[in-house]
Amino acid sequence: MLCPTCAQPAQGSERFCNYCGTELATAPPVAPAAPAEAASAAVAPAMSTQPQASELRGVGGWLLLFCIWITVIDPLWDLRLVFYLHYGFQVPLLLSFGLTLYGVVTGIQLWIGAKAALVFLRVYFAAVLLLSLWGFVTSFRETHAVGFNFWLITAWFRVAAFLAVWVTYFRVSVRVRATYGANL
């Protein structure tokens, strides 16, 4: 027996098609098609490589990479800054640790699929942007007398690229919409 929607073979005992989910018991029988039409109908579903939203529900793919990044890799990377604390109280360093801690909380919210995860994420992206701008302006003011600071510019471009890539992903991702019910 073939599924009337996707023309995939179905066993007689199944109520729904394993490939497309169409109900097989109440579906009207399909009239036999010409051999050329049957072949094209059998090939057409195989050509559609777009995964369904239900297949993309849950944390996986690029979303999982982002969660691992802000909950594991970024905090481990920031641990290298702990050794600078013996120089005294430094506001930028403490703000960096605060942002990292908030990133961990945001990553956990995303990872468990909490409804408020996208709100946490908006605040996280805004904080990254504002703290980066503040750091850029502060560093530029301090190094203005010295001249052009190549590392400052490259750091800003890294932050801008990070924000551009991930904000775009969270705004257009089918997986994000399927998992959280909305995009950023």
pLDDT in tens, 18-71: 666 677 765 455 555 555 555 555 555 544 555 666 677 888 899 999 999 999
pLDDT of residue 119: 96
Helix runs in 79-149, H state only: 91-112, 117-143
Residues of the chain with pLDDT under 50: 27, 46-47
118 and 180 Cβ atoms separated by less than 8 Å = yes
Residue 179 has which token pair? 């998992």
Distances (CA, A) of 75 to 12, 78, 80, 100, 104: 54, 5, 9, 6, 8
Question: CA 184 to CA 172: how far, in whole Å?
Answer: 8
The pTM assigned to this predicted structure is 0.67
pLDDT of residue 48: 52
Question: CA 163 to CA 122: how far, in whole Å?
Answer: 11
pLDDT of residue 108: 96
* Residue where the block lists tokens 């408020």: 116
pLDDT of residue 46: 47
